[in-house]
Amino acid sequence: MRIIRNRHFWLILALFTFCSVLHYACLIGNAGTVDPGFHFGLTRHTLERILFLVPIIYSAYIFKLTGGLATSFAALLVMLPRATLISPAPADAILETVGVVLVGVLVSLWSWTLVKEKGRTEAALAQLNSAQDNLRYYLQEITRAQEEERKRIARELHDVTAQTLYALNRQVDNFVRSNTNLPTANAAFLEDLGKQIKEVLQDVQRFGQDLRPPMLDDLGLLAALRWLVSELKEQHGIKADLEVLGTERRFTPETELILFRIVQEAMRNIGRHSRATKAEATIEFGDGRTRVSITDNGVGFRLPGNLEDLSRAGKLGLIGMQERMRLLDGSVRIESKPGKGTTVMAEIPI
């Protein structure tokens, strides 16, 4: 019997016994007399009956419906003989007894609905957690698939498209060099063609690197971040620096890729939206946490109350950062005000 080992059970029993003894105390030594006095506007016996609500409510709180009903029934059994056989006004006494028991039953039923409600909330919460886990898994798989696809396209661009363009450019070059007697207009045309092929080749190489910089796999996160910083300078003329705090640590390829994507999106936003003249990326290798922040001195913007509002407008960069960070149990914070620049801070617990 587990209930016997429950201290609440013994406390309720003690309270109940105390109420019962008090209820029949007038019979001891002074048999049959009733204290006619009023206390707080109620007779002493009315107060004694109301007192039974203490163990009843306590029991309903601890042992819920069964406890509340059992204690109410026990109280009825204790109070009924006094009300019917001893009380000078049995009708009133029975009414009060029934009233007290009724309140006890209602409290017990209320505790039952609370238990049911709690069960429903817990079930809904468990369902929500499981849905969130599924969503997280799904997101992880999509991100992985997207990165695989990017890697494949980048490799294809590097191994096939770029090589073909390179060979084409060499052929044009060789043709011009070995045909010195070409009419000037034709030679100029071929030289221009060669220049255009070179430009397309550079674009293809840049696009491939942007999709998946090979240095991320070969040389690691810091090298890839340095490349991002140099790209911002080269493509947008924004003075940019990378600061490294703490001792560099290597993470799993997935983690490094996610951190890289965060900085890449922040840099892209600086290039596209900020009109900044200066930007700085900082990576801090701390004890049990790594923080990356990217800040610019540009025009800034008014942050919406909820980042999800941006995704409804087809702006997926910032919300994408948040989702990627969730995959690492990390967090991202964006601070921006019109005219005050923008800072993106991401932190992961490793």
Choose among Mg ion, ligand ATP, none what residue 316 binds, the Cβ cut-off being 5 to 8 Å by kind. ligand ATP
Beta-strand (E) ranges in the chain?
38-39, 42-43, 239-245, 278-285, 290-296, 331-336, 342-348
Q: Does 229 bind ligand ATP (CB under 6 A)?
A: no
Q: Does 271 bind ligand ATP (CB under 6 A)?
A: no
Report the b/e string of 268-279 with b at 16+ CB within 10 A: bbbbeebebeeb
Give min distance, CB of 323 to ligand ATP, in A: 11
Give min distance, CB of 234 to Mg ion, in A: 19
Q: Does 11 bind ligand ATP (CB under 6 A)?
A: no
Residue from 158, 236, 273, 278 that binds ligand ATP (CB under 6 A)?
273
Q: Does 91 bind ligand ATP (CB under 6 A)?
A: no
Measured from the CB atom, the residue of 112 and 301 that comes closer to ligand ATP is: 301
Going by C-beta distance under 8 Å and a sequence separation of 6 or more, which residues neighbour residue 23? Answer: 45, 48, 49, 52, 78, 79, 82
Q: Does 274 bind ligand ATP (CB under 6 A)?
A: yes
Segment interacting with ligand ATP, rule: CB under 6 A, options 57-65, 67-75, 235-243, 310-318: 310-318
Give min distance, CB of 249 to Mg ion, in A: 28
Bridging pattern class, strands 38-39 and 42-43 = antiparallel
Q: How many residues does the chain have?
A: 350
Q: Which residues of the chain form contacts with Mg ion (CB under 5 A)?
A: 269, 317
Give min distance, CB of 290 to Mg ion, in A: 23
Q: Which positions from 251 to 270 touch ligand ATP by CB under 6 A, shown as an x/- string?
A: ------------------xx
Crossing angle of the two packed helices 53-81 and 7-24, in degrees rounded to 10: 40
Measured at CB, which residue is nearest to ligand ATP? Answer: 317
- What are the C-alpha distances in Å from 323 to residues 25, 116, 228, 234, 320? 70, 35, 21, 29, 5
Q: Does 296 bind ligand ATP (CB under 6 A)?
A: yes
Give min distance, CB of 313 to Mg ion, in A: 12
Contact between 341 and 333 under an 8 Å Cβ cutoff? The reply is no
Measured from the CB atom, the residue of 270 and 332 that comes closer to ligand ATP is: 270
How far apart are the C-alpha atoms of 240 and 234, rounded to whole Å?
Answer: 10
Measured from the CB atom, the residue of 61 and 301 that comes closer to ligand ATP is: 301
How far apart are the C-alpha atoms of 189 and 195, rounded to whole Å?
Answer: 10
Q: Does 292 bind ligand ATP (CB under 6 A)?
A: no
Q: Does 315 bind ligand ATP (CB under 6 A)?
A: yes
Measured from the CB atom, the residue of 155 and 261 that comes closer to Mg ion is: 261
Q: What is the DSSP letter of 29?
A: S
Tokens of 160: 């096939």
Going by C-beta distance under 8 Å and a sequence separation of 6 or more, which residues neighbour residue 215? Answer: 223, 224, 227
How far apart are the C-alpha atoms of 350 and 345, rounded to whole Å?
Answer: 15
Residue the block writes with tokens 């997280």: 136
Q: Does 73 bind ligand ATP (CB under 6 A)?
A: no
Q: Does 318 bind ligand ATP (CB under 6 A)?
A: yes
Give min distance, CB of 188 to ligand ATP, in A: 40
Tokens of 117: 């409600």
Measured from the CB atom, the residue of 169 and 269 that comes closer to ligand ATP is: 269
Measured from the CB atom, the residue of 55 and 330 that comes closer to ligand ATP is: 330
Give min distance, CB of 218 to Mg ion, in A: 27
Q: Provide the binding-site residues for ligand ATP, judged by CB under 6 A.
A: 269-270, 272-274, 296, 298-301, 310, 315-318, 342
